[in-house]
Structure 1
Amino acid sequence: MLSWTIGQVKITSIVESETPTSPRFMFADVDKNGVIERAAKAPWLLPHFVNDQGYLLQKIQCLVIETGERRIAVDTCIGNDKERSNELWSHLQGPFLDDMAAAGYPPESITHVVCTHLHVDHVGWNTRLVDGAWVPTFPNARYLFVETEHEHWKTTESLFEGDDVFGDSVAPISEAGLADLVEADHRVCDEVSFQPTPGHTPGHISVVIESDGDRAIITGDMTHNPLQIADPDLSTMFDTDSDAARSTRRAVFPGWADGTTLVIGTHFGSPTAGTMHPDGDGYRLQV
């Protein structure tokens, strides 16, 4: 179980799944040969983030930020029992909550839940199925949703046809009185704040952790795989606005690539985090 220390703050990864992924799942114009070609130009991508067969090495995880007074769960994965059109994600029966508890974070200890955006693999454990109803998984937490993001998905069909993601994983939080709609530059506490990184979705945010002069960034899906660090212009098929997503990466990466900020990729394969450095027309992630 990976964890990092940023000053007085601890960040722990709770992994729901970690599997090689075909690049065609994510990129319209990059196949396995294309991944191999890109890795030849950016060999630092191997072996952690892509493999020599051209697969992306990805994970779905929740990152728990512990500041002392607060335990903040960032992105809650896919969840159990959810009806999903992707058969690999439908009606899961995984040990995620047991794994959280084993790491020292039982659900009742979480004080805040943050979703970088409201796609299916970032909100699933917001709720769990109890006696046929979806109830908040973290009953003592305030769930922080960026208002722009919340209102977009409240009136927009899910990313995958037939998935009632908002209905089973977001709306029950408001119905339980646990939702707070906030701005995209919201500050949770002295150590944790949001950085607006729109494009992948309208209200997408990354999470900034700062303590004792150290800094970390949780990317969310403004970059799915370090291929997009090597080539910030590479966007995925799941972006609401691909041009805006490219512009966001070009705008924020220079500030992240200071050689000291720890960049934690929400979907990056293990070791998941490193420091960014300029590299030609893009960047590299040093682990």
Structure 2
Amino acid sequence: GDWDHFIDAANYGPPPWVRQALCDLAERGRVTIIEGERQIVPGLTALPAPGHTPGHTVFVVHDGRERAMLLGDAIYCPQQLTAVDWSAATDVDPVLARQTREWLWREIDSSGAAAVGPHFPGLQAGRVLGRRWQAVPHA
């Protein structure tokens, strides 16, 4: 979805030199487009999380029953997991982004997975407990 939206359709996205570099990599067979849920390697699964961008993806690292979710920009701050109506100005589709945040909240809460986003303060992972975010202590 992101390739179609930002590269092929040339919507607002990467600067021209980045777009060109990505196209060059694709021409050399160095880009793999993934869609839907997909196991990347054993223990790492990509899950679609559209809204922030059309093809936004979160990644789940798993080992047996232990799971950690890498949220990307689907969730900008831990508070968005429990206040799903908080949006980011950069969401391409704010309604879909909210639905994705609601799904992520339910998924993290029900699975007990730890989760972290690249904009979380101190890159602190945490868990959702009901309607509350609780940081996971550093080991």
Query: Please, what TM-score do these two structures have when normalized by structure 2?
Result: 0.85
- The offset of 1:171, in angstroms, is 1.7
Please, which of 243, 252, 263 is the counterpart of residue 104 of structure 2?
Answer: 252
Q: Does 1:153 align with 2:6?
A: yes
| 8 A Cα contact 1:159 1:238, kept in partner | no
Q: Does 1:226 align with 2:66?
A: no
Question: Aligned residues, how many?
Answer: 134
Task: Give per-residue Cα distances to partners, 1:235-280, cap 9 Å, x unaligned.
Answer: 111000001100111123111114731102122121421112122x
Rounded Cα–Cα distance in structure 1 between residues aligned with 2:95 and 2:120 = 22
**Aligned-partner residue type, residue 175 of structure 1:** E
Identify the residue that residue 285 of structure 1 maps to in structure 2: 134
Identify the residue that residue 124 of structure 2 maps to in structure 1: 272
- The offset of 1:166, in angstroms, is 2.0
| 8 A Cα contact 1:184 1:203, kept in partner | no
Task: Give per-residue Cα distances to partners, 1:73-100, cap 9 Å, x unaligned.
Answer: xxxxxxxxxxxxxxxxxxxxxxxxxxxx
Instruction: Determine which structure has more spread, i.e. the larger CA radius of gyration.
Output: 1
| 8 A Cα contact 2:35 2:48, kept in partner | no
- The offset of 1:167, in angstroms, is 2.3
Structure number with higher strand proportion? 1
Identify the residue that residue 192 of structure 1 maps to in structure 2: 44
| 8 A Cα contact 1:277 1:286, kept in partner | no
Structure number with higher helix proportion? 2
What SS is found at the alignment partner of 2:86? coil
Q: Does 1:183 align with 2:35?
A: yes
What SS is found at the alignment partner of 2:128? strand
Runs of 4 or more above 3 Å deviation? none
Query: Please, what TM-score do these two structures have when normalized by structure 1?
Result: 0.43
Rounded Cα–Cα distance in structure 1 between residues aligned with 2:111 and 2:44 = 20
**Aligned-partner residue type, residue 158 of structure 1:** Y
Give the CA RMSD over aligned residues: 1.9
> Mapping of 1:99-248 within 5 angstroms?
148-154=1-7, 155-159=9-13, 163-164=15-16, 165-168=18-21, 170-248=22-100
Structure 1: gaps spanning 5 or more residues: 1-147
| 8 A Cα contact 1:193 1:208, kept in partner | yes
**Aligned-partner residue type, residue 91 of structure 2:** D
